Chain A
Amino acid sequence: MHHFYESELEDIRRKLVLMGEKCIDIVRLSIQALEENDLGTAQRVLGMDDEIDELELQIDGECVRYLSLRAPVATDVRLLTLCMKGCHDLERVGDEASSIAKRIRRLSRQGRAIGNLAGIPEMTEMVITQLRNALDSFIDESYEKAMSLPESDRKVDDLNRANFDVLMSRSTDDPTYVAIGIELIFISKSLERIGDHAVNVGEEVAYLIKAKDVRHTAAVRRSPETY
């Protein structure tokens, strides 16, 4: 039997998907701004972050309303907890992209070319794939796709460490590069955090599908050397 208020759950679900799509766009746009040294694009990133923040508020508000009025149980409760926690993770993705955009403004004031971006472009593609898979695992309700995220996140972590080594080495060799190197290290770190948020969404999707909490289990644990 379908309840008349199920369309409200569908609305919440749709908003989370929309928020996820905006997150993919904002990450791509932030790195495009970096690659093209385009302050206008960086400014657009900040505007998109406001839209993502607004979606977080809407999703949270609608989830609390549904919990208060509809007495949900079972899958419906798990869907709502996913949406409330997932939208927080996605909001953090928007914040990381904004942080990248703000660093681009600082980099533009350095008065010299940024030069090679180390593994950042490759890392961007990886975290966008991470976000895509997290979102698809939710749309398709695919446990396998959700549980594939920790493994691919290890590669993102590895790339972040490699970026750190490269950028530190350049800074050591050229003291005039230090300010740029530090900003790029932080941008790389932001991308690494975006990957983590995608993994978190995947864990929530796994909980939605199997009602089994996979967080902090061997199935999703990062390799010890990550830390």
Chain B
Amino acid sequence: MTTAAPSESPAQTISSPDEQYIQVKDFSFWYGSSQVIFDQTFDMPKQKVTAFIGPSGCGKSTLLRCFNRMNDLIDGIHHTGDVQVGGESIFDPMLEVISLRKRVGMVFQKYNPFPKSIYENIVYSLRVAGRSKKSELDEVVERSLRSSALWDEVKDRLQDSALGLSGGQMQRLCIARAIANQPEILLMDEPCSALDPVATGKIEELIHSLKRQFTIVIVTHNMQQAARVSDRTAFFYLGKLIEYDETQKIFMNPEKSQTEDYVSGRFG
């Protein structure tokens, strides 16, 4: 077992023709006086899946939540450095957080449908935005449910309660809800941790197909899942970015011994 303290997070750049869409620059983050992210610099490509892996407490979920400023809801947080989406800083004082969250959708660990119908779950954010034309809402519902591979299973019961769906279906409904607004980025925080293997397989299929439309960042504790679904993988330890590379490289021939120890299950 190797658990040596990590070295300082170096800037991690990968030579690639892909457009770098999410750019993390010298980024550090604190909860009060406790620093949980240390000086991270790396880029994530457009319409690819980037997986964040690392043991509990390594800061991967915190970093993910920074991308749509979910952490703003917590008292006492502060950061240094920057995160840019499509070349724009998400911390720009002129930026409306609501508009950022329309661009950056999120799916959580535990599926959390609203206690409403399947239909209303998907159109909820559109109704909040003042869009109420039925034909438009119907179109969004069908498109979102098709994209989340749920349409065929629920098309005849759209007015049924979402709470009557299975766990896997509820999570796919949450994905449909997250993409209803056509975000550019989809953040997924351990989206399969509460699901059985069959439901997990369906979500993985979905992630694979959704990357044609969205830039996806997924936090997962399941190394096999990261290996299966992602194009790039970032390994974090104690708030530092230890290694970031093509997923194939991380799982077949990582540069750092800490990465190898982690992906082979020797620690963490």
A-side interface residues toward B, CB under 8 Å? 1, 3-5, 64-65, 68-71
Out of B201, B227, B252, which one reaches A64, CB within 8 Å? B252
Apart from A3-B204, A69-B252, list 7 A-B contacts with CB within 8 A.
A1-B198, A1-B201, A1-B202, A3-B205, A64-B252, A65-B252, A71-B224
Q: Is B248 an interface residue (CB 8 A)?
A: yes
Q: Is B247 an interface residue (CB 8 A)?
A: yes
Q: Is B69 an interface residue (CB 8 A)?
A: no
Give A215 to B204 CA distance when docked, in angstroms: 38
- Give chain A nearest CB distance to B250 CB in angstroms: 10
Residue numbers in A under 8 Å from B202 (CB-CB)? 1
Q: Is B208 an interface residue (CB 8 A)?
A: yes
Residue numbers in A under 8 Å from B201 (CB-CB)? 1, 3
Give A169 to B33 CA distance when docked, in angstroms: 94
Give A65 to B251 CA distance when docked, in angstroms: 9
Q: Do A70 and B208 form a contact, CB below 8 Å, given A1-B198, A1-B201, A1-B202?
A: no
- Give chain B nearest CB distance to A10 CB in angstroms: 16
Q: Do A69 and B251 form a contact, CB below 8 Å, given A1-B198, A1-B201, A3-B201?
A: yes
9 of the cross-chain contacts (CB-CB < 8 Å) are: A1-B201, A1-B205, A3-B201, A3-B204, A3-B205, A65-B252, A68-B248, A69-B247, A69-B252
Q: Do A71 and B205 form a contact, CB below 8 Å, given A1-B198, A64-B252, A65-B248?
A: no
- Give chain A nearest CB distance to B122 CB in angstroms: 24
A1: nearest chain-B partner, CB-CB? B201
B208: nearest chain-A partner, CB-CB? A4
Residue numbers in B under 8 Å from A65 (CB-CB)? 248, 252
